[in-house]
Structure 1
Amino acid sequence: MKKTLFTLALLAGLMGAAQAQNVSLGIKAGPSYSGFVGAQATNYESIFGFHAGIFANIGLTDMFAFQPEIIYSQKGAKVSSIDVTTRLNYVDIPLSFHVNADGLFFEAGPQLGILVAAQDKAGSVSVDRKPLYNTLDFGYLAGLGYQRKTGPGIGLRYNGGFTNVQKSSTAGSVTVQNNIRNSAFQLYLTYSFGGR
């Protein structure tokens, strides 16, 4: 009960701050189309997933805004020749900078992903593979869309990874690091509220 009251008080405080400043809060969700890129990613094919989360759009000027987000995001790929799908689930923290023109925006910025689950699935059998993958995924984003301070919006974003998703492995005196990075397109709908 205390946690619920605290959450409601926090949301009310954020809404008050959003109305007082050139800030809007919002929710977003949509499908993802992800795969792996890199020298050792040649046998992988892309898969569909979803992403959803919250954001705060902070107007810096009439044309520029900063938008931090917290997004749950499914990524991964599959090897169709052996029917194995790798699903990586992240909590992504994008820090995007928007250039606005009457609702139309272009965005770019860095992104940090925190791995929360990793599974390989073959048929109906799933195996936990999280120990094989790096916990942090550093990357970038670029995209465009239409979003007002209040109301619905739509966008398309590309997420690329700078870091390899798999941990290095050592056999004797030889260490192997596969060059495999995340790559994802995200189509999403947004709803913003509280801005002016």
Structure 2
Amino acid sequence: MKKLFLGLGLVAGTFAFAQTSPSFGLKAGLNVSSISDDGYEDSKAKAGFYGGVFMNAPLSEQFSIQPEVLYSQYGAKVTQSYTTEALGTTRKYESSQSRNLDYITVPVMFQFHATPNFYLEAGPEFGFLVSAKDKGDLTTTTTTGGTTSTSTTSGTTDIKDGISSFNMGAGLGLGFNFTPNFGINARYVAGFTDINKKNNGEDGNTTLEQSGKNRNNTFQVGLSYKF
């Protein structure tokens, strides 16, 4: 809760630094997200979306600050396999899943306007976990005394208990305003914090147990509309 108040406090504090009246708007677009290695070496990028509201407050003729509140889909497509042996029976598990991590994110971007229409931006992003699920297939190959059988199950597993509720990263991007109201923006957000809780995998609720540190990384591109 303290982290949520920190993010909202930064948004509210923006008004104190604004030199002129701030403007408000909507933005939405595509996320291409991944999770850093250390257990995710075979993972692939996953497409998602983001959307929400923003406020742009000019600090000077060339600088402004833009806090945002977005619903943003992160995660990755993950493949993993492992084998167990007990009482003469060998079981090989192979999973192919989409790890879907949904957040309410609060980016606070500091923008430099190189021209009236083109700008560069950078700043922190605070994320608060809303949903965490694995969706996909699990294939089990069982070998006992020379006899092998295979079974496949599909479904969705809630893994929220194994994922950290807070995510922090830094964004770096650029944008171009076609008109005073419409613009396009591209941004890369590199995660700083581990997505896993320290006890991840201990209670058996997660299908992919991670012992290392993993971070969200996301490329975003989308459109904005300023009122």
TM-score range, shorter chain: 0.7 to 0.9
Distance between the aligned counterparts of 2:72 and 2:216, measured in 1? 12
The reply to whether residue 112 of structure 1 matches residue 126 of structure 2 is yes
Counterpart position of 2:65? 66
Correspondence for 1:76: 75
Deviation by residue 1:55-97 (Cα, 9 ceiling, x = unmatched): 0000001100000000000000012462211000000000000
Contact 1:22/1:58, CA 8 A, preserved across alignment = yes
Q: Is the 8 A contact 2:20 2:59 kept in 1?
A: no
Deviations 1:12-67 (A, max 9, x none): xxxxxxxx943110100011100001433312111000000000000001100000
1:103 maps onto 2:121 in alignment? no
Q: Is the contact made by 2:22 and 2:57 (CA closer than 8 Å) also made in structure 1?
A: yes
Q: What SS does the aligned partner of 1:169 have? A: coil
In structure 1, stretches of 5+ residues that fail to align are 1-19
Match of 2:215 in 1: 181
Cα distance in 2 for partners of 1:121, 1:154 equals 32
Question: Given that residues 99 and 132 in structure 2 are in contact (C-alpha distance below 8 angstroms), is that contact kept between their aligned partners in structure 1?
Answer: yes
Q: 2:148 maps to what in 1?
A: none
Say if 1:110 and 1:141, in contact at 8 Å, map to a contact too: yes
Q: Is the 8 A contact 1:30 1:186 kept in 2?
A: yes
Deviation per CA, 1:83-124, whole angstroms, max 9, x where unpaired? 211000000000000001211010000110000000000155
Instruction: Give the Cα–Cα distance (whole angstroms) in 2 for the partners of residues 177 and 147 of structure 1.
Output: 44
Output the amino acid matched with 1:183.
Answer: N
Distance 1:59 1:21 in 2: 6
Aligned to 2:86: none
Runs of 4+ in 1 over 4 A off after TM superposition: none
Residue identity in the other structure for 1:83:
S
Query: 1:112-149, CA deviations, whole angstroms, 9 ceiling, x for partnerless residues?
Result: 00000000001552111100000000111000011378
Partner of 1:152: 182
Distance 1:91 1:150 in 2: 27
> Per the alignment, in what secondary structure is the counterpart of residue 40 of structure 2?
coil
State whether residues 167 and 177 of structure 1, in contact with CA within 8 Å, keep that contact through their aligned partners in structure 2: no
Render the CA deviation track for 1:137-167: whole Å, top value 9, x for unaligned.
Answer: 0111000011378310001001111001011
Distance 1:149 1:21 in 2: 20
Aligned to 2:100: 87
- Which residue is 2:143 aligned to? none
Report the number of matched residues: 170
Consecutive unaligned residues in structure 2, runs of 5 or more: 1-18, 81-94, 138-153, 203-209
Separation (CA, whole Å) in 1 of partners of 2:49 and 2:71: 8
> For residue 69 of structure 2, what is the amino acid of its counterpart?
I
Q: Provide the residue aligned with 1:130 in structure 2.
A: 160
2:198 matched to which residue of 1?
A: 168
Is the CA contact (8 Å cut-off) linking 1:148 and 1:192 kept in structure 2? Answer: no
What is the Cα-based RMSD across aligned positions, in Å? 2.0
Kindly, what percent of the aligned residue pairs are identical? 35
Q: Is the 8 A contact 2:195 2:216 kept in 1?
A: yes
> Whole-Å Cα distance in 2 between the matches of residues 68 and 159 of structure 1?
15
Highest RCO, 1 vs 2 (Cα 8 Å, sep ≥ 6):
1
